[in-house]
Amino acid sequence: MKPAPFQYTAPETVEESLVLLHTFREEGKPLAGGQSLVPLLNMRLARPSVLIDLNRVRELSYIHDEDATVSIGAMTRQRAVELSSLVREKLPLLAEAVRYIGHPQIRNRGTVGGSLAHADPAAELPVVTLVLGAQLVVRGLEGTRVLRPEEFFVSFLQTALAPEELLVEVRFPVHRTYGTAFLEVARRHGDYALVGVAAMVQMDGERCTEARLGFTGVGPVPVRLPEAEEAATGRPLDDSTLGEIARIVAARLDPHSDIHASATYRKEVAGILAGRALRLAAERFKQREGA
């Protein structure tokens, strides 16, 4: 478990990083928190010629309050997000989801941008960007692109990032007027989810006026199900509605089977979790309204 030989670079600014990425293109690989890349290197499953270590690029580590959005730099540690009172106050869904990422030791190293750029569909952050409609800011030497999650996540471990581009920032819409919930079923605490659900609702009394549902671990990219969201809208989130949503979820999702869970398991449990997450989100909405 020793990596194949590679050249190591440690830029200190975004500009330097972009020059290196531009120079080495497919041969270069940015290193963020290293929680996925380093094991892959050690197992020789990833064999970049040049490692571009971003850990000294201080300008990429920040959480900025911009009123309607909170912008988070790509090299911001997940632990910093978890501990941020700003995030807790304005981005409750992110605050809840980030605690499901591994363990504190992992979150101390793992970064927001690293997790998104790695694009594991079972990870927590990609689905959060999806249901929130976050913006992913991508820079190259030639300029900046702002991508929607639907554009950014292409397939399993694949993104729309060109080899010479770097994800530099994520802009999360403030969503404190929503009731939100994030739930996962994982084999153990801290494992990648077998299934995860992010839910957001607006309620008018017992009636749901808006619902968003995103799923992890059920396809090559994080998934939203408009049909299930519509089934919730305009109705009370009672057993009958949630039962119907569970049926839609199970019917519409097309997850994979692996050694930990079958596709059938993932479909069924996604439906169950969707109901539980919607109910929890609705409760939280009401609690906030009451407060």
Partner 1 sequence: MNERPGESRESMVTRYFGEPIKRNEDPRLLTGRGTFVDDIRPPGLLHAAFLRSPFAHARILSIRTEKARALPGVVAVYTHADLPPALQEPLPKLIPHPALIHHKTQYALAPDKVRHVGEPIAVVIAENRYVAEDALELIEVEYDPLPPVVDLEQAIQPDAPLVHEDAGTNVCAHYTQRVGNVEEAFAKAAYVFTERFVIDRGTAAPMECRGVVAQWEPKMRQLTVWDSTQAPIPIRNGLARLFGLPQSSVRVIAPDIGGGFGPKIMMFYPEEVVVPFAAMQLERPVKWIEDRLENFVAMNQEREQIHEASIAVDKEGRILGVKTVFLYDAGAYIPYGLIVPIVASTTLPGPYKIPNYHCEFRAVFTNKTIVSPYRGAGRPHGVFVMERLMDRVARELNLDRAEVRRRNFIQPDEFPYDVGLIYQDNAPLIYDSGNYPACLEKALEMIGYDRWPSERERYRREGRYVGLGLACYVEGSGIGPYEGCRVTVEPSGKVYAATSVGTQGQGHFTSFAQIIADILSVPVEDVTITTGDSGAFSWGTGTFASRAAVVAGNAVALAAQAVREKALRVAATLLEARVEDLELRDGRVFVRGVPGRSLSLGEIAVAANPLRGTIPEEWEQPGLEATRYFAPPRGTFSNGVHAAILEVDIHTGMINILKYVVVHDCGRIINPMILDGQIRGGVAQGIGNAFYEKLVYDENGQLLTRTFMDYLLPTAMEVPEVEIAHVETPSPLNPLGVKGAGEAGTIPVPAVFASAIDDALAEFSVRITEMPLSPNRLLEIIRTARERSKEAKSPR
Least distance in Å: CB of 107 to partner 1? Answer: 15
For partner 1, give the closer residue by CB, 96 or 169. 96
Give the binding site for partner 1 (CB under 8 A): 1-5, 39, 43-44, 185, 187-192, 194, 259-262, 265, 268-269, 272-273
For partner 1, give the closer residue by CB, 172 or 192. 192
Q: What string of DSSP letters covers 206-243? A: TEEEEEEEEEESSSSS-EE-HHHHHHHTTSB-SHHHHH
Alpha carbon distance 126, 193 (integer Å): 13
* End-to-end Cα separation, the chain, in angstroms: 54
Place of tokens 């900025």: 64
For partner 1, give the closer residue by CB, 150 or 244. 244
Least distance in Å: CB of 83 to partner 1? Answer: 20
The residue among 186, 191, 143, 192 whose CA lies nearest residue 168 is 143
Computed over its alpha carbons, how large is the radius of gyration of the chain?
A: 19
For partner 1, give the closer residue by CB, 6 or 62. 6
Least distance in Å: CB of 118 to partner 1? Answer: 14
